[in-house]
Amino acid sequence: MRVGLDRTIENVTRATVRPACDVIARAFADDPVLRWVQPRRIRGADTLVFRGMYAAMHGAPGTAHILRDGGSAVGAAFWDPPGFEPPPVSQLLALPVLAAGVRLGSVRGVRLLAKLMEVRPTEPHWYLATLGATTPGRGIGSALLRHGLDRVDGPAYLESSNPRNVPLYQRFGFEVVREITVAGSPTLHAMYRR
């Protein structure tokens, strides 16, 4: 789908999972929560984290999007439809990739994930797992968010790991419903859109 002069949004495929995760890793390089889980910056580790998370927890067909500007990947978003669970074999195969990416932060990551799962809404909803742009302030996140929300049927939920992004989500109708912390972690903002 064309969203600007040189911008297009397409579904993530097997061929574009890696560039989508590279984009997300660059976008989250200074993310407070990611840096709390994995304080040491290890070349390629963040991309492995997002590839592992995508394979273990996301990947419903047609719900992940990559935005290209002039052919270069500059943004990506991963959505999960209501009730989505990847096949168990995908979850199992993703564990080594995820473990290689997280390394020292695995205990923190597991605790945080458990807390996030505990507070997630129980009614059916679309889940925005991640949204990122390589260059903030260029409308990339807004374009991806609009694209995703145009396909959502029903409520949507997300956890914003960076307080800078809360106003973006609020412009699209999300409201902060809870603040989440675990054992000294930075605050995540749970946000819901009816």
Q: Say if CB 36 and CB 161 are below 8 A apart.
A: no
Q: Say if CB 23 and CB 134 are below 8 A apart.
A: yes
> DSSP string of the chain?
-B-SSSEEEEE--TTTHHHHHHHHHHHTTT-HHHHHHS-S--TTHHHHHHHHHHHHH---TT-EEEEEETTEEEEEEEEE-TT----HHHHHHHHHHHHHHHGGGHHHHHHHHHHHHHHS-SS--EEEEEEEESSTTSSHHHHHHHHHHHH--S-EEEEESSGGGHHHHHHTT-EEEEEE--TTPPPEEEEEE-
For the stretch 136-150, what's the b/e string if a residue is b when 16 or more beta carbons lie within 10 angstroms of its beta carbon? eeebbbbbbbebbbe
| pLDDT confidence of residue 20 | 96
For residue 73, which amino acid is it?
Answer: A
Of 16 and 98, which is predicted with more confidence? 16
| pLDDT confidence of residue 40 | 73
Taking residue 32's Cβ as centre, other Cβ atoms within 10 Å add up to 16
Lowest-pLDDT range, 87-101, 108-122, 132-146?
87-101
| pTM of this structure | 0.88
- Domains of the chain by start residue, with CATH: 7-193 (3.40.630.30)
Residue 117 in this model has a pLDDT that exceeds 70? yes
CA 126, 129, 133, 137 dihedral sign is positive
Lowest-pLDDT range, 55-64, 89-98, 156-165?
89-98
Beta-bridged to residue 72, according to DSSP, are: 69
What would the pLDDT profile of 16-39 be if each residue is shown by its tens digit? 999 999 999 999 999 998 888 877
Residue 105 in this model has a pLDDT that exceeds 90? no
